[in-house]
Structure 1
Amino acid sequence: MDTENKTKECPFCEIVLGKTERKPVYENKDVIVIVPNTPKAEGHVLVIPKKHFVNILDIPADLLNELFIVVQKMSKQAINKDNASGVNILNASGRDAGQSVFHCHIHVIPRHPNDSLWLDIEKRGK
């Protein structure tokens, strides 16, 4: 892994470097997939580039392509293996967008009928 752009005390870099007990659910040479600390649904995962980039705007196109290949793989797994009826694919880039960990990551959240995960967001938008 290239740690040249690693920021001090980045929790995702710590996981990538094997400095925590967290185990990936999937991994290749560029990308790691983990279960978040507080999953919003069963099967919720984070798809994370191994190299540190603050947000999606900083990632080179070839790595972004690989990242989304893995996002698609995890989405298909949620539908085929976990019987989800859909998925939400979410990314927050920047503090005002709600980014809380400043190492790019993409949420893949399996959805099921009537799971009511987004009621709070829907209320805020009205």
Structure 2
Amino acid sequence: MKEDCIFCKIAAGEIPSKTIYEDEEFRVILDISPAVKGHALIIPKDHYANLFELPEALAVKVMILARKLAAHMKEVLQCDGFNLVQNNGKAAGQTVFHFHMHLIPRFENDGNQDRLCWNQLEVSPEEMEEICSKLKLKEE
């Protein structure tokens, strides 16, 4: 636990939250500044600043838990879709530097259809090929 981290304190139960799920490794809470009703956060109880610090085994567990909760929330809330959002670094919109994943139920006409998108960039075929070549991951 990191002393000055608000999510560490929430995960440890030191700061009250509306918890919808908890186990030994995670606490899932309703976001206090939700995009829509039901917007929740998966927070590991141990401190990891971002995805790059998160151990691989825990990353797998986050996705399994996200899938389980999204299915449950879709059934209970009768939402029309779902966003999983996870930001890493200030440039990507991360404001609390403790890994967390947003679970955002989506409803037709919820007023946020254009909030989770970006301006499309035009990239030439040559630039696309160069980027592809640089990013191609070789099997280990």
Report the TM-score when normalising by structure 2: 0.79
Query: 94, 106, 114: which is aligned to 1:99?
Result: 94
Aligned partner of 1:113 in structure 2 is 108
CA-to-partner distance for each residue in 1:70-112, whole Å, 9 max, x for gaps? 1111110121111011100001000110100000000010011
What residue in structure 2 maps to residue 86 of structure 1? 81
Stretches of structure 1 that go unaligned for 5 or more consecutive residues are none
- Which of structures 1 and 2 has the larger relative contact order (alpha carbons within 8 angstroms, sep 6+)? 1
Deviation digits for residues 25-56 of structure 1, max 9, x if unmatched?
10111111001111111111001111100001
Q: Which moved more, 1:22-31 or 1:92-101?
A: 22-31
Runs of 4+ in 1 over 3 A off after TM superposition: none
- Structure with larger Rg: 2
Query: Residue type matched to 2:49 in 1?
Result: V
Q: What secondary structure sits across from 1:56 in the alignment?
A: coil
Residue 132 (structure 2) aligns with? none
Distance in 1 (alpha carbons) for counterparts of 2:76 and 2:32: 22
Out of 57, 80, 83, the residue aligned to residue 52 of structure 2 is 57
Q: Partners in 2 of 1:57 and 1:25 — Cα distance?
A: 26
**CA 1:15–1:121: 2 relative to 1, 3 Å:** closer
Task: Quote the Cα distance in structure 2 between the aligned partners of 1:121 and 1:88.
Answer: 9
Q: Which residue of 2 aligns with 1:45?
A: 40
| Counterparts of 1:57 and 1:18, CA distance in 2 | 25
Which residue pairs with 1:19 in the alignment? 14
Residue identity matched to 1:95: K
Aligned pair count reads: 120
The alignment status of 1:9 with 2:4, answered yes or no, reads: yes
Unaligned runs of 5+ in 2: 121-140
Correspondent of 1:125 among 119, 129, 139: 119
Residues of 1 paired with 2:115 and 2:7: CA distance?
28
